[in-house]
Structure formats: C-alpha cells, structure tokens
Structure 1
Amino acid sequence: MTPEELVSRLAPVRVPADFARFGLQDALAAVALGLLVGVVLSVLLRALTAPRARTVADVRARIAALTHLPPQARVAGLAGLLRDMDETVPSEMSNALYDPNATTDPAPLEEAVLAAARRARP
C-alpha cells in the first residue's frame, strides 16, 4: 500500500463545533495574552535602556578624553555629558554652543558636569 492510498482511506478529522469557532472568550484570551506580552517587553526594554548613573571618576575620565579637542567641540562634548545626566547647559554657556566664533572657557561647563555627577551619585 502506498502512502497516497493510505492517506485517501483515512477518515476526515472531526472537530467539535465549539473548538472550530472563534468566540468572545477566545478574543479576550488573545487580548489578555497580548497585554501580558506587552508588559513583559516594556519591563525588559526599560531595564535595557535605562540611563546608567555615572560616577564622578567616570565623568572625570570622559572630561579628560575631551581635553585634546578644539574648544568648540569640547564645549559640545561637555554639553552632551550634561544632557546624558538629564541636566541643562548653564545659560552663560549656551551662546558658546551655537556661535562658532565665541571665545569661551570650557572650565565652568566642566564644573557644571562634575557638579551634576556629584548630585547624581547614589
């Protein structure tokens, strides 16, 4: 007997009518499972993308890495560090970010970055 003959002699699968239709309970179960998966993914993504607290030593190392840059790039890097710590650039330094001809000393911005790191320290 060949496999085709065997398959042709098999009786069709009989499924109870309750299993064959998609009802309200099935829809609610699908919504509940979707919500559960959404909550689990939300918790995982939040844990993976949470900002990490920077230690003062880490911030000092990042500032030291910026010392060889030109002043405009250094100010922009320091402003990026402040942004990473959810702080804002002091108003007296905001002009230096947008004016390439501005001559400013990045030392006050470095102090602002270090102060933000000290405040954020656990």
Structure 2
Amino acid sequence: MKNVQLREIACARSGDKGADANIGVWVEDERTFEFLRENLTADKVESHFQALCRGGVERYELPNLKALNFILHDALDGGGAASLRTDAQGKTLSLGLLQMVLEVPDELLR
C-alpha cells in the first residue's frame, strides 16, 4: 500500500448546476473502479471539501463507465450568476479532488 494523490489512478472533470457542483471521476480498469467504489465515499469527498460544501454530498455510481459522480450541494455560493467567487462554476473542483490522498494498493499504481 502506498499513499498517493487520487490523480495517480483516476481522471476527473467538474462543473455546476446552479449552487451545486458536480465532479465526475473515472478510471480505466475494473480493479481500480472497485477500489474507488469502496474507498472514495461521499463522506470522504464531503470532508475533503468541508470549507466549501455546505449542503452535503451525494454519490452516484456508473459502473458501465467505471465512474463515480459526486454532487456537492450548496458548494458554489449561489452559482455562476450570483457568486463573487473566482470559480463560481466549480470548474477547478475536479483538480481539488484529484489532490486527495488515498492509501492505494501497489498493484493499482502504474
């Protein structure tokens, strides 16, 4: 096992829907997807973004795409038209999530 940033095993993209942010995380293989299914929980994502996310996090699984989708409720301070934040549309949140450190089995590292 090795502590690595999520970016070592996954890709991500993010955006917005009003005041909510959306982060999609996907991987290339089934073994890595099963690892993420067990270890990248909504609670961990909520904790990672505790300074921004005020409304909780929901996780959706897309096994056919080997992907997880997270909705961060009330994370954008009103959203693109209402917020004065530099990233009012949540475009950089995927990069923030990819910096999360996870303990990953050596066989999943490239």
TM-score by length of 2: 0.32
TM-score by length of 1: 0.30
Higher helix share: 1
Higher strand share: 2
Please say which structure displays the higher CA radius of gyration: 1
RCO comparison, higher one (Cα < 8 Å, 6+)? 2
